[in-house]
Structure 1
Amino acid sequence: MNDYLPKDELDPKHKDAPSTNRKALWIIGAGLGIYLIVSGVWGIITGG
C-alpha cells in the first residue's frame, strides 16, 4: 500500500494532523521571523 509513508501518517485518527516536516518548517520559519523582528527592533532602539 503506502509503505513509503511513516507509520504516524498512516494512522486514520491523525488524518488531518500536520506532518512532522510541516511542523519543523513552521518552527524554523517562526524562529527566523522572530529573529528578524527582534533584530529590527534592536536596531531601532540602538539607532544603528
Structure 2
Amino acid sequence: MNDFLPKDELDPERKDQPSRNRVALWIIGAGLGIYLIGTGVWGIITG
C-alpha cells in the first residue's frame, strides 16, 4: 500500500478531497496573484 502518504490522506472519508498541501499551495498562489494584480492596477492608477 502507499505507506509514504500521511495517515490522514489514506482515510477513506477524505477520498475525494484535495490534500492539505495542495490547498496551501493554491492559497499561496492566489495570494501572490492578487498581490501582483493589485500592484499592477495601483501602478496604472498612480502612473
When normalised by structure 2's length, the TM-score is 0.88
Report the Cα offset of residue 45 of structure 1: 1.1
4+ long deviations beyond 4 Å: none
Identity of aligned residues (%): 83
When normalised by structure 1's length, the TM-score is 0.86
Report the Cα offset of residue 11 of structure 1: 0.4
Query: Would you say how many aligned residue pairs link Structure 1 and Structure 2?
Result: 47
Q: CA-atom RMSD, angstroms?
A: 0.9
Residue ranges of structure 2 left out of the alignment (5+ in a row): none
Residue ranges of structure 1 left out of the alignment (5+ in a row): none
